[in-house]
Structure 1
Amino acid sequence: MSVEGANYLHENVVRIDSRARSWNGVTIVDVHEYTKGEVLHSLLNAEETGIAMALEEVGGVTEPRLKPQQACLLDHKPNHMTLVPRGMPLWGHATKELHYSRYALLLFDLETLENKFQADFNAKMFERPRMRFTDERIHALVKMLVDIQHEDPSMMLLGDSLTSAVFALLSTEGDEPPATRPPLSDHALSLIVSYIQDQLPQQIELRELSELAGISQWHFCRAFKASTGLSPYQWQLKKRVDAAQKLLLHTDAPLDAIAKAVGFCDPMQLSRVFKKCTGEAPGTWRRNRR
């Protein structure tokens, strides 16, 4: 990945900050780039199948190029993205007016993804370049992914679900929505929710749940939501809050101990999620009921 190495920095790039995390065979890199003039540098090398997505452009605009000196003829659009297959590098050009840009790089391990998604995998969608296209659904999902706190292990199920959705949308022809999925059977749903409950406070991967249901990860996410009205991550989060309420009501344990016991990374995260779900901070909730 070219943007990470200082040796690759263009002379007009003041600084690049980036952080990466992988879920489900997809690596997401959140890049903040500060510039002071026209810039042209490599974004993805020929060994990678990936996407570069513009998240924010301040002062000027960015442009994807398949060859360094060959301008992209397609009109600029906010939050544009470009997909390149393995064997084809991608270059990024920034106008001299640009002084800050934030973009995401999505790197695909296609062999892993094909094994995970099986019939949902559409190889031909990743065999040709797609320049400066936009999709509000994919943009919203990627924005959620790059905003996940990387040090928080409880976000594993959320990251798995979001990357599954991104990959499924990229594998769909045109703007056609993915096919609907019927709800899980009563037996499968009972098995899944019991597993989620039993695994608290451990992190759970989407792979584990989809294998229990015997369907692909993307189909599982849609079937689970059709059954419960919640995504797998939202259901798990609700169970964590339920468990925290029981400890607040029946013990004198401090918030840091409760957070650890139910799978939150720290008391601040517990307080933030708890208040969002109940309308009250944990301490207030406890006092009002004791």
Structure 2
Amino acid sequence: MSADDATALHENVVRIERRVHSWNGVTVVDVHEHTRGEVLHSLVNDEDTGVALALNEVGGVTEPRLKPDQACTLNHRPNHMTLVPKGMPLWGYATRDLHYSRYALLLFDLHALEMRFEEDFDAGMFARPRLRFTDDRLHALIRMLVDIPEEDASMPLLGDSLTSAVFALLSNENEQLTASPKLSCHALCLVESYIQDQLPRRIELRELAELAQMSQWHFSKGFKESTGLSPYQWQLTKRLEMVKESLLQSDAPLNAIATATGFRDTTHLVRTFKRRIGEAPAVWRRDRR
């Protein structure tokens, strides 16, 4: 099923669940498909440049096809990926014994990516199909993308950083990516001050990379080399410091603190605080007051 067609189900698809998010010119679709019998349907239409990654196959296997009536001649491999350029649709085939599959679809806005990545953009890497290839680095990054909790999906820095890394790896195929140096003291100070001053606004990776006069990929790597944290983690740490300050210095309810510090709601704040600090905000406040 293509990302923009959620209506017409194949007769052997019992149920399909989809979650869609967009970051950085990349639309990420997480699909859970429950089937009964052979299935053949469109995955990516010919208007999109896309990647399909098999995340889980239970009972049988899935197969990418460039034409619906032509089986793929490459051997099946777990977590296989297929890249198709614009103008070439992709079909997904599921064997009769498959009853559940989870797969990710990444649809690329190449014009937007070219504008953002400039010299790091190589359109030629997206001009030919690549079927049933595997890459452990890409698999790990895409799984992190689809597993981003719903409450964190609205924070651009996390999705931007992961999609930037995915795009960089796809653009380089099997070549080794060059190591990124640490940010200069001036650039690091400029970026950290900007993040701090903009709190709790949701900042895009593009803004920070432009400040440092680097591509998004090299900025992300350089920032982590310099600080030990990704830009998202660094920003989240500062937001949690704001939360702690509000908890200690005011009697504001958690919903007000969540709004003031950029969390989606109280539940988002509590979950994030417990995950990073180790206890609930109310407990943390009580024990320190």
1:18 deviation in Å?
1.7
2:126 is aligned with 1:126? yes
Q: Structure 1 residues 58 and 259, CA, compared in 2 at 3 Å: closer, same or farther?
A: same
Task: Report the TM-score, using the length of structure 1 for normalisation.
Answer: 0.94
Which has the larger displacement, 6-15 or 84-93? 6-15
Contact 2:209 2:215 in 1 (8 A): yes
1:9 deviation in Å?
2.5
Contact 2:153 2:159 in 1 (8 A): no
Contact 2:25 2:110 in 1 (8 A): yes
Contact 1:153 1:265 in 2 (8 A): no
Which has the larger displacement, 13-22 or 89-98? 13-22
Q: Structure 1 residues 249 and 3, CA, compared in 2 at 3 Å: closer, same or farther?
A: closer
Contact 1:153 1:203 in 2 (8 A): no
1:269 deviation in Å?
2.0
1:66 deviation in Å?
1.0
Aligned to 1:168: 168
Contact 2:21 2:153 in 1 (8 A): no
Aligned to 2:105: 105
Aligned to 1:190: 189
CA distance in structure 1 between the partners assigned to 2:179 and 2:171 by the alignment: 15
1:2 deviation in Å?
2.6
Which has the larger displacement, 160-169 or 42-51? 42-51
1:150 deviation in Å?
4.4
Q: How does 1:4-83 map to 2 (within 5 A)?
A: 4-5=4-5, 8-83=8-83
Aligned to 1:259: 258
1:61 deviation in Å?
0.8
SS at match of 1:5: coil
Q: Compute the RMSD of aligned alpha carbons.
A: 1.6
Aligned to 1:148: 148
Contact 1:27 1:108 in 2 (8 A): yes
1:19 deviation in Å?
2.5
1:279 deviation in Å?
2.3
SS at match of 2:178: coil
Q: How does 1:87-98 map to 2 (within 5 A)?
A: 87-98=87-98
SS at match of 1:10: coil
CA distance in structure 2 between the partners assigned to 1:150 and 1:23 by the alignment: 14
1:224 deviation in Å?
0.8
SS at match of 2:251: coil
SS at match of 1:168: helix
1:49 deviation in Å?
0.8
Which has the larger displacement, 31-40 or 146-155? 146-155
1:126 deviation in Å?
0.8
Q: Structure 1 residues 166 and 45, CA, compared in 2 at 3 Å: closer, same or farther?
A: same
Q: Structure 1 residues 17 and 154, CA, compared in 2 at 3 Å: closer, same or farther?
A: closer
2:272 is aligned with 1:273? yes
Number of aligned positions between the proteins: 289
Contact 2:82 2:133 in 1 (8 A): yes
Aligned to 1:84: 84
Unaligned segments of structure 2, at least 5 residues: none
CA distance in structure 2 between the partners assigned to 1:232 and 1:225 by the alignment: 7
1:239 deviation in Å?
0.4
CA distance in structure 2 between the partners assigned to 1:152 and 1:182 by the alignment: 29
Unaligned segments of structure 1, at least 5 residues: none
SS at match of 1:2: coil
Q: Structure 1 residues 90 and 19, CA, compared in 2 at 3 Å: closer, same or farther?
A: same
SS at match of 1:201: coil
Task: Report the TM-score, using the length of structure 2 for normalisation.
Answer: 0.95
Name the amino acid aligned to 1:271: V
Aligned to 1:234: 233
1:64 deviation in Å?
0.4
Identity of aligned residues (%): 69
Contact 2:3 2:105 in 1 (8 A): no
